[in-house]
Amino acid sequence: MNRFGLTIAVPRGALLGGSLDALDRADIDTSEVRTNDRKLLFADIGVVTMRPSDVPTYVEAGAADIGITGKDVLMEHPERQIFELADLEFGHCEMVVASEDGPDRAAEALERLGVMRIATKYPRIAAAYFERSGRQAEIVTVNGSVELAPLTGLADAIVDLTATGITLKENGLVVREQIASVTARLVANRVAHRLKAEAIEEFAALIAASAKPTSA
């Protein structure tokens, strides 16, 4: 177990490197995590690794005291009863509306039909965004390469995360609107935040004070 006595949920994927860097700065040795792609639980340092979307589930249930996940996950699952403690300032992305280059098919559909079709992995974020702007949108949830949806006629536009814009460009898509900036966030279980307040506050202060922006 780490010196804080905390179980920490760490996201695999694009946020893993920045998350492990943050733990290293808090004097938690993450060398075993970095060299073992298959192992998920590292009990000796109090770290459990998982998909970013699963972090709030584990933290809310108390299987982890604290965790690191993207702001996009928190926006998509606002029902999770957890505390957001700090912006860790890495994993920078933009949540955007994008469509095929050229005439804006989504705007045309909205004008012609009164509704546009939007494909996304983030149905709640997309629905809330268009509702706030007073636009009618039919949300189509996809789990794979969302960029394919406008190219095949499945949707008029997409809502998705982009870090560099390269994938969008390579698929002939352009950003039409920016919804939100997204970075990695530190979250805590509500009970642990009360019972282990000193340890959590010390850990949060260490990694937040030393956070350095990096690209996703």
Using DSSP's 3-state secondary structure scheme, residue 47 falls into: strand
Q: What is the mean pLDDT of the chain?
A: 95
C-alpha to C-alpha distance for 137 and 131, rounded to whole angstroms: 8
For 108-137, write each residue's pLDDT tens digit: 999 999 999 999 999 999 999 999 999 999
Q: Which of 22, 91, 15 is nearest to 54 (CA)?
A: 15
Q: What pLDDT is recorded for position 182? A: 97
Place domain 8-91+183-209 in its CATH homologous superfamily.
Periplasmic binding protein-like II (3.40.190.10)
What confidence tens digit (pLDDT) does each residue in 145-197 have? 999 999 999 999 999 999 999 999 999 999 999 999 999 999 999 999 999 99
**pLDDT-derived band of residue 216, with 50, 70 and 90 as boundaries?**
very low
pLDDT number for residue 209? 62
What is 93-181's CATH topology?
D-Maltodextrin-Binding Protein; domain 2 (3.40.190)
Residue ranges per domain, the chain? 8-91+183-209, 93-181
> What is the pLDDT at residue 208?
80
Q: Bigger pLDDT: 144 or 137? A: 137
pLDDT recorded at residue 69: 98
The beta strand positions in 150-204, using DSSP E, are 157-162, 173-182, 184-189
